Amino acid sequence: MTKSHEQTSAGETTDSVESGDVHAEQFGVKRIREAYRRGMYNGETPDFPVSYEELRESAFEQMSESAKAYVHGGAGTEETFERNKDFSRWRIVPRMLRGVADRDLSVDVLGTEHEYPLMVTPLGVQTLLHEEGETATARACEELNVPFVLSSLSSTPLEEVAGTLGETPKWFQFYWSSDREVAASFLDRAEATDYDAIVVTVDAPTLGWRERLLERGYYPFLEGEGMANYFSDPAFRASLDAPPEEDTQAAVDHFLEVFGDASLTWDDLEFVFDRTDLPVVIKGVLHPEDAKTAVKYGADGVQVSTHGGRQVDGSISAVEALPEVADAVGDRAVVLFDSGIRRGEDAFKAMGLGADAVMIGRPFAYGLAHSGEAGVRNVLENTLSQFDLTMGLAGIDEAKSIDSKAIRDEQTL
Ligand code: FNR
């Protein structure tokens, strides 16, 4: 049940999102009705853009040129970034008259029931988008009970974000540090503050060639942005001659020395499994053999992702990779998906192609830039509404049961 759910004395619900078996059928329909009533009776149009494309344009008006370059940018020509969004090869095949009044959006992920199949993907340096950064995003997630994945490169320390999220499922995205003390400390801190899983991002052994950032000579970390977890980390601080508050430049230089490690191999994953008792998800898997290897090494989940087209330009898109990876993994691990989710229909298709749950990235980032916590909440509510309606219109009443039968591949039509 969402935290903000309240009943008035007249017995009407006052929040705009309802959940659980009893109210699930209201989710998407209620949002539509509200919009039409406000328009027809009050002459009001939504003050939040409905389409992703308009949202992005509107968010750009609030964003600095540097922030736009950082968030918008894919690698190279942005071919993969653009193709990620193209789910058109897969078509939903709706079924009729299947009794879809009570729709249940919940899914099982890593042994926990999530109220919705949508999660918020790890996205660094959220203060570039809004002064409240991750705190605003976490508040919106907490209100709706949408799981949040915090980036290692956040602008807010992981302990503070955990406090904001309360009982909402929370995962910590782990970037390798060549300093094992720091790496171990990150994992320990996440476990001590009740994160539910560790997401190990493996698709960033080196930096990607991001032309928008190179053209501007802009890299936010050199300004000490996105360093909150490092600057607050006891092991990181212990390796500095002066605390980051006194000598930020030296702290940034040290971060650049220890961030990432291109020499890593699958065997190095043992370090993570040994160090934490939390479930581990490997993020950035595109090849079925890598997915099998991840599972063989003990991963509890694999996340199909191109990092939003920010790493290998010209790579296979995430949705193209998904069916084979899901097939390779089978029931042995959870399959997560990101890169290209813009609307609820995309989420539905990804689940039909084998994802157990999906993560949303740039849309929530633009919601955050547009209007902080309210903006993120609007994006999540809109996306979940579209997902709910798509499910109902496709003749499916349980998100868990979306499978390949609901989808046709253009190539087989
Ligand atoms: C990211 N992504 C990312 N991934 C990660 O594991 N750690 C991180 O710190 C970040 N940071 C980050 C910043 C920005 C601005 C973007 C756009 C992306 C990748 C992210 O988790 C996810 O894979 C993509 O956002 C998915 O692509 P779309 O759907 O946003 O295009």
The neighbouring-strand residues paired with 280 are: 198
What is the position in ligand 1's atom list of the atom closest to the CA of 199? 6
CA–CA separation, 386 and 345 (whole Å):
7
| Residue located nearest, by CA, to atom 21 of ligand 1 | 122
Other Cβ atoms within 10 Å of 239 Cβ, number: 14
What's the pLDDT at 24? 44
| Percent over 70 (pLDDT), the chain | 94
Residues with CB under 6 Å of ligand 1 are 70-71, 84, 121-124, 151, 153, 173, 201, 283, 305, 307-308, 338-341, 361-362
Indicate the top mutation candidate among 119, 123, 158 to test ligand 1's pocket, ranked by most ligand atoms within 8 A of CB.
Answer: 123
The residues with which 300 forms a beta bridge, in sequence order, are none
Cite the DSSP H helix spans in 243-340: 248-258, 269-275, 288-296, 318-329
Position 19 scores a pLDDT of: 42
- Rounded to whole angstroms, how far apart are CA atoms 352 and 400? 10
State how far the alpha carbon of 378 is from the alpha carbons of 174, 383, 385, in Å: 28, 8, 10
Are 316 and 283 in contact by the 8 Å Cβ rule? The answer is no
Residues recorded for the chain: 413
Nearest CA to ligand 1 atom 11: 123
- Residues 118-148: b if buried by 16+ CB within 10 A, e if exposed: bbbbbbbbbbbbbebbbbbbbbbbbbbbbbb
Q: Strand (E) positions, 196-318?
A: 197-201, 280-285, 301-304
Residue 26's pLDDT is what?
65
Q: How far is it, in rounded angstroms, from Cα 363 to Cα 343?
A: 9
Name the residue with tokens 């490997």: 282
Cα(37) to centroid of ligand 1, in Å? 36
184 C-alpha vs ligand 1 centroid, how far in Å? 23
DSSP-assigned beta bridge partners for residue 112: 109
Report the phi/psi class of residue 288: left, alpha or beta, with left for phi > 0 and alpha for psi in -120 to 50: alpha
For the stretch 176-207, pLDDT in tens is 999 999 999 999 999 999 999 999 999 999 99
Helix or strand (DSSP H, E) at 359: strand 357-360
CB crowding 298-329: b at 16 or more within 10 Å, else e: ebbbbbbbbbbbbbbbebbbbbbbbbbbbebb
3-class secondary structure, 290 = helix
Residues 6+ apart with CB under 8 A from 41: none
3 state DSSP class of 210: coil
Residue 85 DSSP symbol:
T
pLDDT digits (tens, 9 = 90+) for 39-50: 999 999 999 999
User: What's the pLDDT at 252?
Assistant: 97
> Which tokens go with 28?
């998407």
Q: How far is the CA of 328 from the centre of ligand 1 (A)?
A: 24
Looking at residue 413, its pLDDT comes to 85
Owner of token pair 């042995």: 332
Catalytic status, residue 307: yes
Which token pair is 278? Answer: 């939390």
Of the residues 23, 114, 307, 370, which is catalytic? 307
pLDDT attached to residue 327 = 98
247 torsion bin: left (phi>0), alpha (psi -120 to 50), beta (else): beta
Q: Cβ neighbours of residue 84 under 8 Å, at least 6 residues apart?
A: 306, 308, 309, 317, 318, 319, 339, 340
Report which residue type is found at 384: L
Which of 331, 278, 269, 337 lies closest to 297, judged by CA?
A: 269
CA of 338 to the centre of ligand 1 (A): 9
Sequence letter at residue 281: V
User: Could you identify the atom of ligand 1 that is nearest to the CA of residue 73?
Assistant: 17
| CA of 6 relative to ligand 1 center, distance in Å | 34
Asked if 276 contacts 191 with a C-beta cutoff of 8 angstroms, the reply is yes
Q: Tens digit of pLDDT per residue, the chain (413 long)?
A: 344 433 333 333 334 444 444 344 468 999 999 999 999 999 999 999 999 999 999 999 999 999 999 999 899 999 999 999 999 999 999 999 999 999 999 999 999 999 999 999 999 999 999 999 999 999 999 999 999 999 999 999 999 999 999 999 999 999 999 999 999 999 999 999 999 999 999 999 999 999 999 999 999 999 999 999 999 999 999 999 999 999 999 999 999 999 988 999 999 999 999 999 999 999 999 999 999 999 999 999 999 999 999 999 999 999 999 999 999 999 999 999 999 999 999 999 999 999 999 999 999 999 999 999 999 999 999 999 999 999 999 999 999 999 999 999 999 88
Q: Which residue pairs from 109-112 have beta carbons closer than 8 angstroms and sit at least 24 positions apart in sequence?
A: 109/147, 109/169, 109/301, 109/334, 109/336, 109/356, 109/357, 110/196, 110/197, 110/279, 110/281, 110/300, 110/301, 110/334, 111/279, 112/169, 112/196
Residue minimizing CA distance to atom 18 of ligand 1: 123
